[in-house]
Amino acid sequence: MLAAGLVCRRNVLTLPVFNSWRTLLRTARHRSSSTAALRPELKGIGNREQHQPQAQAQRLQTRGFKDMEPPADVFRGVKDRFAGVTVDGREEKMDKTSSFRDKLKKSLDYWTANKNRAIWFRVYKEQADWVPVLAENGFDFHHARTGVVVLYRWLPQDESINLPTYAHTLMGVGGLVINEKDEVLVVTDRYAMIPNSWKLPGGYVEPRENLIDAAIREVAEETGISTEFRSVVSLRHAHGGNFGCSDLYVVVGLKPLNLDFKRCEREIDRLQWMPVAEFLEHPQVHQTNRQFVRTYLDYQERGLTITCRDDFHQVLKKKYNLYYVEQQGEREDPNEP
């Protein structure tokens, strides 16, 4: 169209006029594109100037004080993933010039502003004078062990307390030991609830002790019989036990490695190898103990065991024991996940 227009006499442009028009056109286009390119930058600058205080406030709100060290007059504690803080009495250094009461008040103000949730204090016997001060400041008792008590305070006012109760279940084990003569190892406790009754040797699981290890240890302590693991047999769950706790009692089948027993005089009044048939009919054997033996004999008849495998949690980086049913002769590869 441009070429046709230039040929037409009426629309003929002289060369100087055409060159002037072309120069003006290029200039106009350059200015237009430059202005458009500047608009996003100018707009961004305007937004940054307008919203900079808001952005800073949002960053502070998101970050809270997690990346900041607490002031010197505040208990440091250890933060957990639930926005809680645990203060260990033996890890905190108290300045002799300041009182525990003053430091606690400043710490509570700091934790409240920091939007922390549960505050835990682990108080040892040497800090017993902290307890009444903590109680005055809204802390309550959570649990206690020999030499230490743990108190807590829930800070959020708009959120109901969401804390786990302390350990509420006791763990016990019984060792079901049967020798090659089909005799079961039985004992009578010196302080038995049912006098002169026969039962399986056993006792409480120690802290951080595996169930199987506990059963082997208890049998050895009470009877002098060394054993090795065969199978988990049964589990009994009850409530209203010692200290108001629930009770889990796990029966573990064990193979004896020796037959000559040695009685623990402190805890055991009598012990013997009793024929299984006699045990199942004995009037001084509780029906639950009979059921344990029947269950174990049924497992053997069907070629079943409840075995245990040591494993490792890939996320928590912790060892654990995995219990599962296994058919004899079809042993699982321990390397399989």
**For residues 109 and 100, what is the distance between their CA atoms, to the nearest angstrom?**
14
**For residues 283 and 1, what is the distance between their CA atoms, to the nearest angstrom?**
119
State how far the alpha carbon of 270 is from the alpha carbons of 42, 119, 285, in Å: 94, 51, 14
Q: How many CB atoms lie within 10 A of CB 274?
A: 16
- pLDDT for 95 beyond 70: no
Going by DSSP bridges, is the β-strand pair 118-124/85-88 parallel, antiparallel, or unpaired?
A: parallel
- pLDDT for 282 beyond 90: yes
**For residues 13 and 322, what is the distance between their CA atoms, to the nearest angstrom?**
95
pLDDT in tens, 304-337: 999 999 999 989 889 999 999 999 876 555 555 5
- pLDDT for 269 beyond 70: yes
pLDDT in tens, 98-154: 689 999 999 999 999 999 999 999 999 999 999 999 999 999 999 999 999 999 999
- pLDDT for 48 beyond 70: no
**For residues 68 and 99, what is the distance between their CA atoms, to the nearest angstrom?**
24
| Average pLDDT of the segment spanning 246-256 | 97
Q: What residue has token string 């001060």?
A: 133
pLDDT in tens, 155-181: 999 999 989 899 899 999 999 999 999
Q: What residue has token string 């699981």?
A: 205
Beta strands in 159-205 (DSSP E): 169-177, 183-189, 202-204
Looking at residue 65, the DSSP 8-state letter turns out to be T
Question: What amino acid occupies position 107?
Answer: S
- Alpha-carbon dihedral of residues 299, 302, 308, 313, nearest 10 degrees? -130
- pLDDT for 59 beyond 90: no
- What 3-state class would DSSP assign to 25? helix
- In this structure, is the dihedral angle defined by the CA atoms of residues 272, 278, 284 and 289, taken in order, positive or negative? positive
| Average pLDDT of the segment spanning 278-300 | 97
Name 323's bridge partners: 308
Going by DSSP bridges, is the β-strand pair 183-189/268-275 parallel, antiparallel, or unpaired?
A: antiparallel
Closest CA to 185 of 257, 237, 235, 249: 257
- pTM, entire model: 0.70
Both tokens of 64, joined, read 């809270």
pLDDT at 62: 36
**For residues 232 and 321, what is the distance between their CA atoms, to the nearest angstrom?**
12
Among the ranges given (15-29, 85-99, 160-174, 277-291), the one the predictor scored with the smallest mean pLDDT: 15-29
DSSP codes of every residue in 206-234: PTT--HHHHHHHHHHHHH---EEEEEEEE
**For residues 200 and 157, what is the distance between their CA atoms, to the nearest angstrom?**
52
Q: Name the CA radius of gyration of the chain, rounded.
A: 39
Question: What amino acid occupies position 265?
Answer: E
Both tokens of 49, joined, read 């100037």
More confident residue, 51 or 199: 199
pLDDT at 21: 47
Q: What residue has token string 């199942």?
A: 280
Counts for the chain of helices (H) and strands (E), in that order? 7, 13
